[in-house]
Amino acid sequence: MNVLIPEEAIRERVSEIAAAVNADFHGRTFTVVGILTGSLVFLADLVRRLEHRHQIGLLEASSYRGTATTPGTLVLNTGLLPEVRGRHILLLDDILDTGATLSQVTAHLVELGAASVKTCVLLRKIGRQTVPFEPDYVGFAIPDKFVVGYGLDFNDDYRHLPFIGVLPDDTSV
C-alpha cells in the first residue's frame, strides 16, 4: 500500500488543529460531534489535545456501503447525539469528498437548535466536491484517490492503520 500521509505528519497536524480549536473556542464550552465511524480515531486524538471543557457526541452519517468506493444516498442516525440546542458544536468528519454529508449534517444540527456549528475534516479530497461547503478546519488536501487508514475503511477494514494510504487496485492487500 502506498503511504500518502505518514503517522508523524498526522500527529503534528492534529496538534495544530487542536491549537486552532483551543484559540477559537476559548472561554466557551462546546460539544465535539464525530461522524461515525471514520472520525473515531481523529476524534480520540483531537479531544486529548483540547484544553477547554467539552462534551462528546456521535452520529452516524453514511453514504458508502460495503465495498462501494463512490457515495450513494446519505443515511443519518442521530440516536447517539446529545442535546445540541443552545450548544456550540465542533463537527468532525474524516473526509470531505462531495460535500453532501457535511452540508446536510451541519444543516441538521442548526435545525436542532445548535448555537453555532464549526466543521473540521481530517482530509479534503481535491476535485470531488459537488456541493459548495467550506470547512472551518482542514487537516490535509489530498488527490482524488480512495484512501484508507487512521479510521477510514474499505469494507470495514484498514481503519487500524496509523497512516493514510492509497488503496491499491487489488484490494486483497
Kind and range of the H or E element at 123? strand 116-125
Q: Is residue 100 assigned to a domain?
A: yes
- CA separation for the pair 94, 39 (Å, rounded): 5
Q: Residue 27: its pLDDT value, please?
A: 87
Examine residue 172 and state whether it is found in any structural domain, yes or no: no
Q: Secondary structure of 32-71 in the HEC alphabet?
A: EEEEECCCHHHHHHHHCCCCCCEEEEEEEEECCCCCCCCC
pLDDT at 173: 47
In a domain, 121, yes or no: yes
Is 31 part of any domain? yes
The answer to the question of residue 117 being in a domain is: yes
Give the three-class secondary structure for 113.
coil
CATH classification at residue 56: 3.40.50.2020
Q: Which of 23, 31, 21 is nearest to 115 (CA)?
A: 31
Q: How many CA atoms lie within 13 A of 34 on its CB side?
A: 18
| Residue 115 lies in domain | 2-166
- The residues facing 118 across adjacent strands are 90
pLDDT digits over 108-142, tens only?
999 999 999 999 999 999 998 899 999 999 999 99
Instruction: Give dist(CA 74, CA 102) in Å, integer.
Output: 11
- pLDDT value of residue 76: 82
Least confident of 18-22, 51-55, 63-67: 63-67
Report CA torsion sign: 17, 18, 19, 24: positive
Does residue 173 sit within a domain?
no
User: Number of folded domains in the chain?
Assistant: 1
The answer to whether residue 147 sits within a structural domain is yes
Identified catalytic residue from 24, 45, 97, 153: 97
The DSSP result for 141-167, as a single string, is EE-S--EEBTTB-BTTBSTT-SSEEEP
**157 a catalytic residue:** no
C-alpha to C-alpha distance for 14 and 12, rounded to whole angstroms: 6
The answer to whether residue 67 scores a pLDDT higher than 70 is no
Per the prediction, the chain carries an average pLDDT of 90
The answer to whether residue 98 sits within a structural domain is yes
Q: What is the pLDDT of residue 68?
A: 52
